[in-house]
Amino acid sequence: MISKHFSRDEFACKCGCGFDTVDVELITILEDVREHFGASITINSGCRCAKHNKAVGGEANSMHMIGRAADFVVQGPSPAKVYQYLTGQYPDKYGFGLYKTWVHADSRSTKARWEKT
């Protein structure tokens, strides 16, 4: 376990290359979400090597490629509710994206927001 609720393998690149280095600040954000909603989180996509990122259509400068991003689902609340919590909790920093069935969070040093529902 790399935190109270998360293990490193949950964030490992899905291609099997072994890339699984996760930013501590990202884990802190996810732990906050986990504690706030009192519900488990499923990581759909964490770390991505450049090859896997390209294969899944990720952005060329994706935060996933440096272990600073995760796409996830919280069991129970809607993605919109999770996104609303994150943008309220961290109004001036980090990257949060709302998608139809999941949320993106990253620990970038600047503020970024987007909705693609």
Contact 96, 83 (CB under 8 A): yes
Average pLDDT over all residues of the chain: 97
Report residue 91 CA to chain centroid gap: 17
As a whole number of angstroms, the longest Cα–Cα distance in the chain is 36
Q: In the prediction, which pLDDT does 117 show?
A: 83
The third-level CATH classification (topology) of the domain covering 8-110 is Muramoyl-pentapeptide Carboxypeptidase; domain 2 (3.30.1380)
Q: Interhelix angle for 79-89 vs 24-37, to 10°?
A: 120
- Average pLDDT of the residues in 6-30: 97
Digit-coded pLDDT (tens) for 65-101: 999 999 999 999 999 999 999 999 999 999 999 999 9
Q: Give the domain ranges of the chain.
A: 8-110
Distances (CA, A) of 16 to 9, 34, 63, 95: 10, 26, 19, 26
